[in-house]
Amino acid sequence: MKNERQTMILELINSQSIETQNQLMHALEERGIRTTQATLSRDIRDMRLTKEAAPGGGYRYVALSPLHSGDHSLRLQKIFRECVISCDTAQNILVLRTLPGLAPAACSALDGMDIEGLVGTIAGDDTAFLAMRDQNAARAFYDEIGTLLT
């Protein structure tokens, strides 16, 4: 059941612009798959779905394409191009400012990448905290981010 539901979720987000969990739930129901919001939320998290700017405005769910371990520059570029406004450091913590509502999507994407020295992330609405293993890791990742924001 779970695999069938998640396969259908991927088909739906790849074939139409789905902006909300409610829209996704209704699209699944139209195809005979009933689910709860809590289950759908877990699927979105487990599948590492995120939102990106839709061509006609607004945002839509997308699946991040899997990349080889350590090769995260393309995904970072996409995240930063779509939602990150600025970045700063405080010892071993990076603070990202995003467009409103997009810090969770940025953290989810970053958590799914093999970023050296990244211990974990915490997201608010438009601010994300990235805990790095040490100050050197924070500085290295901050420098990488700096090239993406310019």
pLDDT tens digits for range 74-95: 666 677 777 888 899 999 999 9
Q: Which residue spans of the chain are classified as CATH 1.10.10.10?
A: 2-63
- pTM, two decimals, is 0.52
Q: 73-149, which class in CATH?
A: alpha beta
Query: Is 50 exceeded by the pLDDT of residue 69?
Result: no
Q: Which residue spans of the chain are classified as CATH 3.30.1360.40?
A: 73-149
**38 vs 54, more confident:** 38
Round to whole Å and give the CA distance between 124 and 100. Answer: 9
DSSP 35-93: --HHHHHHHHHHTTEEEEE-TTSSEEEEEPPP--TT--HHHHHHHHHHTEEEEEEETTE
Q: Quick one: DSSP state of residue 116?
A: T
- Give the domain 2-63 fold: Arc Repressor Mutant, subunit A (1.10.10)
Distance of CA 89 to the CA centre of its chain: 21
Percentage of residues in the chain with pLDDT exceeding 70? Answer: 89
Structure confidence at residue 2 (pLDDT):
85
